Structure 1
Amino acid sequence: MKDLRDIIGKKDYFVLTSNGECHFEMSGFDPEKMDEIEGNWLTMQCRAACHDTLYPVLEKAEDMHKAEKDGLVPGDLTPKCPKCGSPMDIHMMGAADRYVSDDGDQRLGAFLEKYHGKRLVILELGIGWRNQLIKGPLMRLTAAEPKASYITINLGEVYITENIKNKSYGIDGKIADVLREIKKAM
Protein backbone atom coordinates (compact mmCIF):
# COMPACT_ATOMS: atom_id res chain seq x y z
CA MET A 1 0.00 0.00 0.00
CA LYS A 2 2.83 2.40 0.79
CA ASP A 3 4.41 1.76 -2.61
CA LEU A 4 1.07 2.41 -4.32
CA ARG A 5 0.66 5.63 -2.31
CA ASP A 6 4.18 6.71 -3.34
CA ILE A 7 3.53 5.88 -7.01
CA ILE A 8 0.38 7.99 -7.02
CA GLY A 9 2.17 10.86 -5.28
CA LYS A 10 0.29 14.12 -5.74
CA LYS A 11 -1.77 12.89 -8.70
CA ASP A 12 -5.52 12.89 -8.30
CA TYR A 13 -7.00 9.43 -7.74
CA PHE A 14 -10.08 7.52 -6.73
CA VAL A 15 -10.10 4.07 -5.11
CA LEU A 16 -12.93 1.66 -5.83
CA THR A 17 -12.65 -1.43 -3.65
CA SER A 18 -14.68 -4.42 -2.58
CA ASN A 19 -12.38 -5.02 0.39
CA GLY A 20 -13.87 -3.94 3.68
CA GLU A 21 -10.74 -4.01 5.83
CA CYS A 22 -9.94 -0.29 5.44
CA HIS A 23 -6.38 -1.00 4.25
CA PHE A 24 -6.44 1.97 1.87
CA GLU A 25 -7.51 4.43 4.55
CA MET A 26 -5.03 3.01 7.07
CA SER A 27 -2.29 3.50 4.44
CA GLY A 28 -2.97 7.19 4.05
CA PHE A 29 -5.50 7.23 1.22
CA ASP A 30 -8.16 9.91 1.64
CA PRO A 31 -11.52 8.31 2.58
CA GLU A 32 -13.26 11.03 0.56
CA LYS A 33 -11.52 9.62 -2.53
CA MET A 34 -12.76 6.06 -1.98
CA ASP A 35 -15.80 3.92 -2.46
CA GLU A 36 -15.82 0.72 -0.42
CA ILE A 37 -18.68 -0.72 -2.44
CA GLU A 38 -19.51 -3.49 0.03
CA GLY A 39 -19.02 -1.43 3.19
CA ASN A 40 -16.28 -1.82 5.77
CA TRP A 41 -15.60 -3.28 9.19
CA LEU A 42 -14.96 0.08 10.86
CA THR A 43 -18.49 1.46 10.56
CA MET A 44 -21.87 0.28 11.81
CA GLN A 45 -25.49 1.02 11.03
CA CYS A 46 -28.88 0.69 12.71
CA ARG A 47 -30.22 -2.87 12.38
CA ALA A 48 -33.82 -1.56 12.34
CA ALA A 49 -32.85 0.83 9.52
CA CYS A 50 -34.54 3.77 11.22
CA HIS A 51 -32.04 6.07 9.47
CA ASP A 52 -29.03 5.92 7.13
CA THR A 53 -26.27 7.35 9.32
CA LEU A 54 -23.06 5.34 9.67
CA TYR A 55 -21.18 5.29 12.97
CA PRO A 56 -17.58 4.43 13.86
CA VAL A 57 -16.94 1.00 15.37
CA LEU A 58 -13.38 1.17 16.66
CA GLU A 59 -13.96 2.94 20.00
CA LYS A 60 -16.94 0.68 20.83
CA ALA A 61 -14.93 -2.42 19.89
CA GLU A 62 -12.03 -1.32 22.09
CA ASP A 63 -14.39 -0.74 25.02
CA MET A 64 -15.93 -4.20 24.55
CA HIS A 65 -12.47 -5.78 24.30
CA LYS A 66 -11.36 -4.15 27.56
CA ALA A 67 -14.51 -5.31 29.37
CA GLU A 68 -14.51 -8.87 27.97
CA LYS A 69 -14.32 -11.61 30.62
CA ASP A 70 -14.27 -15.30 29.72
CA GLY A 71 -15.45 -14.54 26.19
CA LEU A 72 -18.42 -12.45 27.35
CA VAL A 73 -19.04 -8.73 27.01
CA PRO A 74 -21.44 -6.86 29.31
CA GLY A 75 -24.76 -6.29 27.53
CA ASP A 76 -24.73 -2.57 28.23
CA LEU A 77 -21.69 -2.27 25.93
CA THR A 78 -23.50 -3.77 22.95
CA PRO A 79 -23.77 -0.92 20.41
CA LYS A 80 -27.29 0.47 20.18
CA CYS A 81 -28.79 2.91 17.71
CA PRO A 82 -28.74 6.41 19.21
CA LYS A 83 -32.13 7.16 17.60
CA CYS A 84 -34.28 4.05 18.19
CA GLY A 85 -32.23 1.87 20.57
CA SER A 86 -32.06 -1.13 18.19
CA PRO A 87 -28.82 -3.11 17.99
CA MET A 88 -26.24 -1.97 15.47
CA ASP A 89 -24.87 -4.08 12.60
CA ILE A 90 -21.45 -3.91 10.98
CA HIS A 91 -21.71 -1.89 7.76
CA MET A 92 -20.94 -4.73 5.35
CA MET A 93 -23.12 -6.00 2.56
CA GLY A 94 -24.51 -9.31 3.77
CA ALA A 95 -23.89 -8.51 7.45
CA ALA A 96 -27.04 -6.42 7.75
CA ASP A 97 -30.64 -7.04 6.72
CA ARG A 98 -30.63 -3.74 4.85
CA TYR A 99 -27.34 -2.31 3.62
CA VAL A 100 -26.99 1.45 4.07
CA SER A 101 -25.27 2.96 1.07
CA ASP A 102 -22.86 5.79 1.72
CA ASP A 103 -22.08 8.52 -0.82
CA GLY A 104 -19.06 6.76 -2.33
CA ASP A 105 -20.85 6.16 -5.62
CA GLN A 106 -21.60 9.90 -5.85
CA ARG A 107 -17.94 10.74 -5.20
CA LEU A 108 -16.91 8.25 -7.89
CA GLY A 109 -19.40 9.81 -10.32
CA ALA A 110 -17.99 13.29 -9.64
CA PHE A 111 -14.44 12.02 -10.16
CA LEU A 112 -15.34 10.36 -13.47
CA GLU A 113 -17.20 13.45 -14.64
CA LYS A 114 -14.13 15.58 -13.83
CA TYR A 115 -11.90 13.32 -15.95
CA HIS A 116 -14.32 12.52 -18.77
CA GLY A 117 -12.44 12.84 -22.05
CA LYS A 118 -9.11 13.37 -20.27
CA ARG A 119 -6.20 11.02 -19.68
CA LEU A 120 -7.22 8.41 -17.16
CA VAL A 121 -5.26 5.44 -15.84
CA ILE A 122 -7.40 2.64 -14.48
CA LEU A 123 -5.27 0.44 -12.25
CA GLU A 124 -6.87 -2.81 -11.19
CA LEU A 125 -5.16 -4.83 -8.48
CA GLY A 126 -5.81 -8.51 -7.79
CA ILE A 127 -9.17 -8.92 -9.46
CA GLY A 128 -9.82 -12.17 -11.30
CA TRP A 129 -12.18 -12.45 -14.27
CA ARG A 130 -14.97 -13.88 -12.06
CA ASN A 131 -15.24 -10.70 -9.98
CA GLN A 132 -17.46 -8.68 -12.28
CA LEU A 133 -18.54 -6.33 -9.49
CA ILE A 134 -15.47 -4.21 -10.17
CA LYS A 135 -13.78 -5.69 -13.24
CA GLY A 136 -16.78 -5.37 -15.58
CA PRO A 137 -17.49 -1.68 -14.90
CA LEU A 138 -13.78 -0.80 -15.09
CA MET A 139 -13.40 -2.48 -18.47
CA ARG A 140 -16.58 -0.78 -19.75
CA LEU A 141 -15.23 2.55 -18.49
CA THR A 142 -11.96 1.90 -20.33
CA ALA A 143 -13.87 1.14 -23.54
CA ALA A 144 -16.03 4.27 -23.20
CA GLU A 145 -13.24 6.73 -22.38
CA PRO A 146 -11.07 7.41 -25.45
CA LYS A 147 -8.02 8.47 -23.41
CA ALA A 148 -8.24 5.77 -20.74
CA SER A 149 -5.56 3.16 -20.18
CA TYR A 150 -6.26 -0.04 -18.28
CA ILE A 151 -3.60 -1.82 -16.22
CA THR A 152 -4.36 -5.03 -14.39
CA ILE A 153 -1.99 -6.77 -12.00
CA ASN A 154 -2.92 -10.23 -10.78
CA LEU A 155 -0.95 -13.35 -9.96
CA GLY A 156 -1.79 -16.20 -12.32
CA GLU A 157 -4.91 -14.66 -13.79
CA VAL A 158 -4.68 -11.68 -16.12
CA TYR A 159 -7.90 -11.10 -18.04
CA ILE A 160 -8.55 -8.28 -20.50
CA THR A 161 -11.48 -8.19 -22.91
CA GLU A 162 -10.72 -8.02 -26.61
CA ASN A 163 -12.31 -4.60 -27.10
CA ILE A 164 -9.78 -2.84 -24.82
CA LYS A 165 -6.61 -4.87 -25.48
CA ASN A 166 -5.08 -2.08 -27.57
CA LYS A 167 -5.09 0.28 -24.57
CA SER A 168 -4.46 -2.22 -21.79
CA TYR A 169 -1.55 -3.80 -19.97
CA GLY A 170 -1.75 -7.07 -18.08
CA ILE A 171 0.92 -7.95 -15.55
CA ASP A 172 1.07 -11.46 -14.11
CA GLY A 173 2.74 -11.19 -10.72
CA LYS A 174 2.47 -10.52 -7.03
CA ILE A 175 1.02 -7.06 -6.53
CA ALA A 176 3.56 -6.05 -3.86
CA ASP A 177 6.50 -7.11 -6.06
CA VAL A 178 5.15 -5.35 -9.15
CA LEU A 179 4.40 -2.11 -7.30
CA ARG A 180 7.85 -2.18 -5.68
CA GLU A 181 9.44 -2.50 -9.15
CA ILE A 182 7.27 0.30 -10.59
CA LYS A 183 8.26 2.54 -7.69
CA LYS A 184 11.94 1.74 -8.25
CA ALA A 185 11.63 2.51 -11.97
CA MET A 186 10.14 5.93 -11.25
Structure 2
Amino acid sequence: MFSRKKTVSSTNSSCKLQQAKEQIAQADAILIGVGSGLSTAASLTYDGERFERLFGDLGERYGITDMYSGGFYPFDTLEEYWAWWSRHVCYNRYDDSGVPLYRELLSLVAQKDYFVLTTNVDHCFQKAGFDKQRLFYTQGDYGLFQCSRPCRQETYDNEAVIRAMVQQQRDMRIPSSLIPTCPHCGAPMCVSLRVDDTFVEDEGWHAAARRYEDYVRRHRHHAIVYLELGVGANTPGIIKYNFWRQVLQNPKAQYICVNKGEAFVPQKIAARSIALNCDIRDLFASIPHTS
Protein backbone atom coordinates (compact mmCIF):
# COMPACT_ATOMS: atom_id res chain seq x y z
CA MET A 1 0.00 0.00 0.00
CA PHE A 2 2.82 2.39 0.88
CA SER A 3 6.03 3.09 -1.00
CA ARG A 4 9.32 2.26 0.67
CA LYS A 5 10.39 5.84 -0.05
CA LYS A 6 9.72 8.13 2.90
CA THR A 7 9.63 11.88 3.34
CA VAL A 8 11.26 13.34 6.45
CA SER A 9 10.52 16.79 7.83
CA SER A 10 13.26 19.20 8.79
CA THR A 11 14.66 18.41 12.24
CA ASN A 12 14.54 22.04 13.40
CA SER A 13 11.45 23.30 11.58
CA SER A 14 9.78 25.70 14.01
CA CYS A 15 7.09 26.31 11.40
CA LYS A 16 6.15 22.61 11.33
CA LEU A 17 6.18 22.45 15.12
CA GLN A 18 3.84 25.43 15.37
CA GLN A 19 1.56 23.95 12.73
CA ALA A 20 1.33 20.69 14.70
CA LYS A 21 0.50 22.58 17.90
CA GLU A 22 -2.27 24.46 16.13
CA GLN A 23 -3.78 21.27 14.73
CA ILE A 24 -3.82 19.68 18.19
CA ALA A 25 -5.31 22.79 19.83
CA GLN A 26 -8.05 23.07 17.21
CA ALA A 27 -8.91 19.38 16.91
CA ASP A 28 -12.20 18.07 18.29
CA ALA A 29 -11.17 14.40 17.95
CA ILE A 30 -7.67 13.00 18.51
CA LEU A 31 -6.57 9.39 18.25
CA ILE A 32 -3.29 9.15 20.17
CA GLY A 33 -0.82 6.35 19.44
CA VAL A 34 1.93 6.01 22.01
CA GLY A 35 5.12 3.96 22.12
CA SER A 36 8.01 3.73 24.55
CA GLY A 37 9.41 7.07 23.41
CA LEU A 38 6.88 8.95 25.53
CA SER A 39 7.96 7.19 28.70
CA THR A 40 11.60 7.78 27.74
CA ALA A 41 10.82 11.48 27.37
CA ALA A 42 9.23 11.27 30.83
CA SER A 43 12.61 9.98 32.18
CA LEU A 44 11.46 6.37 32.60
CA THR A 45 14.64 5.18 30.93
CA TYR A 46 15.73 1.53 30.98
CA ASP A 47 19.48 2.10 31.03
CA GLY A 48 22.10 4.56 32.21
CA GLU A 49 21.95 6.21 35.63
CA ARG A 50 18.43 5.00 36.43
CA PHE A 51 19.36 1.39 35.72
CA GLU A 52 22.53 1.63 37.81
CA ARG A 53 20.63 3.18 40.71
CA LEU A 54 17.80 0.65 40.78
CA PHE A 55 19.44 -2.52 39.41
CA GLY A 56 23.18 -2.01 39.92
CA ASP A 57 23.61 -5.04 42.17
CA LEU A 58 21.66 -7.34 39.85
CA GLY A 59 23.48 -5.95 36.84
CA GLU A 60 26.86 -6.63 38.40
CA ARG A 61 26.00 -10.18 39.46
CA TYR A 62 24.45 -11.30 36.18
CA GLY A 63 26.19 -9.06 33.66
CA ILE A 64 22.93 -7.33 32.74
CA THR A 65 23.35 -3.84 31.29
CA ASP A 66 19.77 -2.55 30.97
CA MET A 67 16.22 -3.33 32.07
CA TYR A 68 15.02 -4.48 28.67
CA SER A 69 17.66 -7.18 28.19
CA GLY A 70 17.30 -8.18 31.84
CA GLY A 71 13.75 -9.26 31.10
CA PHE A 72 15.13 -12.08 28.94
CA TYR A 73 17.86 -13.28 31.33
CA PRO A 74 17.68 -17.06 32.07
CA PHE A 75 17.68 -16.96 35.86
CA ASP A 76 18.42 -20.32 37.51
CA THR A 77 15.65 -20.10 40.12
CA LEU A 78 12.24 -18.50 40.49
CA GLU A 79 13.50 -16.76 43.62
CA GLU A 80 16.08 -14.92 41.49
CA TYR A 81 13.66 -14.43 38.59
CA TRP A 82 11.15 -12.67 40.83
CA ALA A 83 13.82 -10.59 42.57
CA TRP A 84 14.47 -9.08 39.16
CA TRP A 85 10.89 -8.85 37.97
CA SER A 86 9.47 -7.49 41.22
CA ARG A 87 11.86 -4.54 41.02
CA HIS A 88 11.19 -4.10 37.31
CA VAL A 89 7.44 -3.99 37.86
CA CYS A 90 7.57 -1.91 41.04
CA TYR A 91 9.79 0.84 39.64
CA ASN A 92 8.14 0.99 36.20
CA ARG A 93 4.50 0.38 37.16
CA TYR A 94 3.92 1.53 40.73
CA ASP A 95 6.44 4.39 40.99
CA ASP A 96 4.90 7.77 40.10
CA SER A 97 8.01 9.12 38.37
CA GLY A 98 7.23 10.00 34.77
CA VAL A 99 3.59 10.82 35.49
CA PRO A 100 3.93 14.64 35.17
CA LEU A 101 4.63 14.46 31.42
CA TYR A 102 1.62 12.22 30.90
CA ARG A 103 -0.49 14.69 32.87
CA GLU A 104 0.76 17.39 30.53
CA LEU A 105 -0.58 15.36 27.60
CA LEU A 106 -3.89 14.83 29.40
CA SER A 107 -4.28 18.55 29.98
CA LEU A 108 -4.14 19.05 26.20
CA VAL A 109 -6.86 16.54 25.34
CA ALA A 110 -9.07 16.19 28.43
CA GLN A 111 -11.97 18.16 26.91
CA LYS A 112 -11.63 16.59 23.45
CA ASP A 113 -13.02 13.34 22.06
CA TYR A 114 -9.77 11.39 22.46
CA PHE A 115 -8.71 7.78 22.55
CA VAL A 116 -5.30 6.26 23.33
CA LEU A 117 -3.83 3.22 21.61
CA THR A 118 -0.53 2.20 23.21
CA THR A 119 2.05 -0.55 23.24
CA ASN A 120 3.37 0.69 26.60
CA VAL A 121 2.81 -1.53 29.62
CA ASP A 122 3.77 0.85 32.44
CA HIS A 123 0.22 2.15 33.02
CA CYS A 124 1.31 5.81 33.12
CA PHE A 125 -1.93 6.90 31.44
CA GLN A 126 -4.16 5.73 34.27
CA LYS A 127 -1.71 6.97 36.91
CA ALA A 128 -1.92 10.38 35.23
CA GLY A 129 -5.73 10.39 35.31
CA PHE A 130 -6.71 9.41 31.76
CA ASP A 131 -10.18 7.90 31.45
CA LYS A 132 -9.79 4.11 31.58
CA GLN A 133 -12.58 3.75 29.04
CA ARG A 134 -10.47 5.65 26.50
CA LEU A 135 -7.36 3.45 26.75
CA PHE A 136 -6.30 0.30 24.94
CA TYR A 137 -3.09 -1.32 26.21
CA THR A 138 -2.46 -3.82 23.43
CA GLN A 139 0.65 -5.49 24.84
CA GLY A 140 -0.26 -6.12 28.45
CA ASP A 141 0.24 -4.52 31.84
CA TYR A 142 3.10 -4.79 34.33
CA GLY A 143 0.44 -4.68 37.04
CA LEU A 144 -1.10 -8.03 36.12
CA PHE A 145 -0.11 -11.68 36.61
CA GLN A 146 -1.27 -14.50 34.37
CA CYS A 147 -0.79 -18.24 34.34
CA SER A 148 2.40 -19.05 32.42
CA ARG A 149 0.77 -21.98 30.55
CA PRO A 150 -1.88 -20.34 30.43
CA CYS A 151 -4.72 -22.58 31.61
CA ARG A 152 -7.31 -19.77 31.50
CA GLN A 153 -7.75 -16.36 29.89
CA GLU A 154 -7.61 -14.61 33.24
CA THR A 155 -5.32 -12.01 34.82
CA TYR A 156 -4.72 -11.03 38.44
CA ASP A 157 -3.70 -7.76 40.10
CA ASN A 158 -0.18 -8.06 41.48
CA GLU A 159 0.61 -4.87 43.42
CA ALA A 160 0.53 -6.32 46.94
CA VAL A 161 2.66 -9.34 46.03
CA ILE A 162 5.13 -7.29 43.99
CA ARG A 163 5.66 -4.82 46.82
CA ALA A 164 6.17 -7.67 49.28
CA MET A 165 8.78 -9.22 46.97
CA VAL A 166 10.70 -5.95 46.78
CA GLN A 167 10.57 -5.40 50.52
CA GLN A 168 11.51 -8.95 51.52
CA GLN A 169 14.18 -9.91 48.96
CA ARG A 170 17.63 -10.57 50.35
CA ASP A 171 20.83 -11.24 48.44
CA MET A 172 18.89 -10.72 45.21
CA ARG A 173 16.38 -13.50 45.94
CA ILE A 174 12.80 -13.42 47.18
CA PRO A 175 11.42 -15.81 49.83
CA SER A 176 10.12 -19.00 48.22
CA SER A 177 6.78 -18.43 49.94
CA LEU A 178 6.17 -15.37 47.74
CA ILE A 179 6.56 -17.16 44.39
CA PRO A 180 3.17 -16.68 42.66
CA THR A 181 1.38 -19.72 41.27
CA CYS A 182 -1.83 -20.08 39.29
CA PRO A 183 -4.84 -20.55 41.59
CA HIS A 184 -6.35 -23.02 39.12
CA CYS A 185 -3.53 -25.30 37.94
CA GLY A 186 -0.59 -24.46 40.21
CA ALA A 187 1.77 -23.49 37.36
CA PRO A 188 4.12 -20.55 37.92
CA MET A 189 2.65 -17.13 37.23
CA CYS A 190 4.31 -14.54 35.01
CA VAL A 191 3.78 -10.86 34.30
CA SER A 192 1.07 -10.44 31.66
CA LEU A 193 3.08 -9.16 28.67
CA ARG A 194 2.85 -10.07 25.00
CA VAL A 195 6.16 -11.88 24.47
CA ASP A 196 4.83 -15.01 22.75
CA ASP A 197 1.57 -16.86 22.01
CA THR A 198 0.89 -17.48 25.72
CA PHE A 199 -0.16 -13.85 26.28
CA VAL A 200 -3.60 -13.72 27.88
CA GLU A 201 -6.22 -11.52 26.23
CA ASP A 202 -8.74 -11.41 29.07
CA GLU A 203 -12.19 -9.85 29.06
CA GLY A 204 -10.77 -6.45 30.02
CA TRP A 205 -8.43 -6.59 27.02
CA HIS A 206 -11.25 -7.49 24.65
CA ALA A 207 -13.54 -4.80 26.07
CA ALA A 208 -10.83 -2.18 25.45
CA ALA A 209 -10.33 -3.52 21.92
CA ARG A 210 -14.05 -3.14 21.21
CA ARG A 211 -14.04 0.44 22.50
CA TYR A 212 -11.08 1.26 20.26
CA GLU A 213 -12.76 -0.31 17.22
CA ASP A 214 -15.95 1.63 17.96
CA TYR A 215 -13.99 4.91 18.23
CA VAL A 216 -12.31 4.26 14.87
CA ARG A 217 -15.64 3.36 13.27
CA ARG A 218 -17.35 6.51 14.54
CA HIS A 219 -14.59 8.79 13.21
CA ARG A 220 -13.62 7.07 9.98
CA HIS A 221 -15.19 9.84 7.86
CA HIS A 222 -14.64 12.78 10.26
CA ALA A 223 -11.96 15.42 10.61
CA ILE A 224 -9.61 13.84 13.14
CA VAL A 225 -5.96 14.18 14.17
CA TYR A 226 -3.86 11.03 14.44
CA LEU A 227 -1.16 11.93 16.95
CA GLU A 228 1.71 9.42 17.11
CA LEU A 229 4.19 9.88 19.99
CA GLY A 230 7.43 7.95 20.41
CA VAL A 231 6.47 4.93 18.30
CA GLY A 232 9.46 2.96 17.00
CA ALA A 233 9.82 0.08 14.58
CA ASN A 234 9.55 -2.91 16.93
CA THR A 235 5.82 -3.47 16.33
CA PRO A 236 4.89 -0.94 13.60
CA GLY A 237 1.71 -2.75 12.60
CA ILE A 238 -0.06 -1.93 15.86
CA ILE A 239 0.13 1.87 15.67
CA LYS A 240 2.28 3.28 12.87
CA TYR A 241 1.08 1.29 9.84
CA ASN A 242 -2.41 1.23 11.32
CA PHE A 243 -2.49 5.04 11.51
CA TRP A 244 -1.07 5.42 8.00
CA ARG A 245 -3.80 3.20 6.61
CA GLN A 246 -6.59 5.04 8.42
CA VAL A 247 -5.30 8.46 7.35
CA LEU A 248 -5.00 7.27 3.73
CA GLN A 249 -8.62 6.09 3.78
CA ASN A 250 -9.99 9.29 5.34
CA PRO A 251 -9.22 12.47 3.33
CA LYS A 252 -10.33 14.61 6.30
CA ALA A 253 -7.73 13.11 8.65
CA GLN A 254 -4.41 14.69 9.67
CA TYR A 255 -1.34 12.77 10.87
CA ILE A 256 1.34 14.05 13.27
CA CYS A 257 4.38 11.88 14.04
CA VAL A 258 6.73 12.96 16.84
CA ASN A 259 9.79 10.80 17.41
CA LYS A 260 13.27 12.22 17.81
CA GLY A 261 15.45 10.72 15.09
CA GLU A 262 12.71 8.44 13.72
CA ALA A 263 9.96 10.72 12.42
CA PHE A 264 8.86 10.04 8.86
CA VAL A 265 5.73 9.67 6.77
CA PRO A 266 4.89 7.87 3.51
CA GLN A 267 4.50 10.03 0.42
CA LYS A 268 0.86 9.01 -0.11
CA ILE A 269 -0.24 10.93 2.99
CA ALA A 270 2.58 13.51 3.16
CA ALA A 271 0.30 16.39 2.20
CA ARG A 272 -1.78 15.79 5.34
CA SER A 273 1.09 14.86 7.64
CA ILE A 274 3.69 16.47 9.87
CA ALA A 275 6.82 14.57 10.92
CA LEU A 276 8.72 16.13 13.84
CA ASN A 277 12.20 14.95 14.77
CA CYS A 278 12.11 16.66 18.14
CA ASP A 279 11.73 15.99 21.83
CA ILE A 280 8.10 15.18 22.61
CA ARG A 281 8.17 17.79 25.37
CA ASP A 282 8.77 20.48 22.73
CA LEU A 283 5.36 19.70 21.24
CA PHE A 284 3.56 20.22 24.54
CA ALA A 285 5.09 23.63 25.21
CA SER A 286 2.76 26.57 24.60
CA ILE A 287 -0.23 24.52 23.40
CA PRO A 288 -3.37 25.96 25.06
CA HIS A 289 -4.57 23.54 27.75
CA THR A 290 -8.19 22.43 27.88
CA SER A 291 -8.48 21.68 31.59
Query: What TM-score do the two structures reach when normalised by structure 1?
Result: 0.88
Deviation, structure 1 residue 172: 2.3
Aligned residues: 184
Deviation, structure 1 residue 48: 2.1
Please list, as runs of the form range in 1=range in 2, the aligned pairs for 1:172-183 lying within 5 A after superposition.
Answer: 172-183=277-288
Distance 1:165 1:111 in 2: 24
Residue matched to 2:40: none
Distance 1:130 1:56, change over 3 A: closer
Distance 1:156 1:65, change over 3 A: closer
Mark the runs of 5 or more structure 1 residues left unpaired by the alignment: none
1:150 alignment partner AA: Y
Residue 150 (structure 1) aligned to one of 244, 250, 255: 255
Deviation, structure 1 residue 129: 5.8
> Does 2:266 match 1:161?
yes
Distance 1:61 1:14 in 2: 30
Residue matched to 2:112: 11
> Does 2:178 match 1:74?
no
2:200 alignment partner AA: V
Distance 1:180 1:137 in 2: 27
Distance 1:131 1:53, change over 3 A: closer
Query: What TM-score do the two structures reach when normalised by structure 2?
Result: 0.58
Mark the runs of 5 or more structure 2 residues left unpaired by the alignment: 1-101
Distance 1:46 1:36 in 2: 19
Distance 1:31 1:146 in 2: 29
Residue matched to 2:60: none
Residue matched to 2:99: none
Distance 1:92 1:59 in 2: 19
CA contact (8 A) 1:80 1:86 kept: yes
Whose helix fraction is larger, Structure 1's or Structure 2's?
2
1:22 alignment partner AA: H
> Does 2:212 match 1:108?
yes
Residue 99 (structure 1) aligned to one of 199, 208, 212: 199
TM-align CA RMSD = 2.1
Residue 127 (structure 2) aligned to one of 20, 23, 26: 26
| Secondary structure of 2:114's aligned partner | coil
Distance 1:64 1:97, change over 3 A: farther
CA contact (8 A) 2:220 2:246 kept: no
Distance 1:157 1:66, change over 3 A: closer
Deviation, structure 1 residue 112: 0.9
- Sequence identity percentage: 30
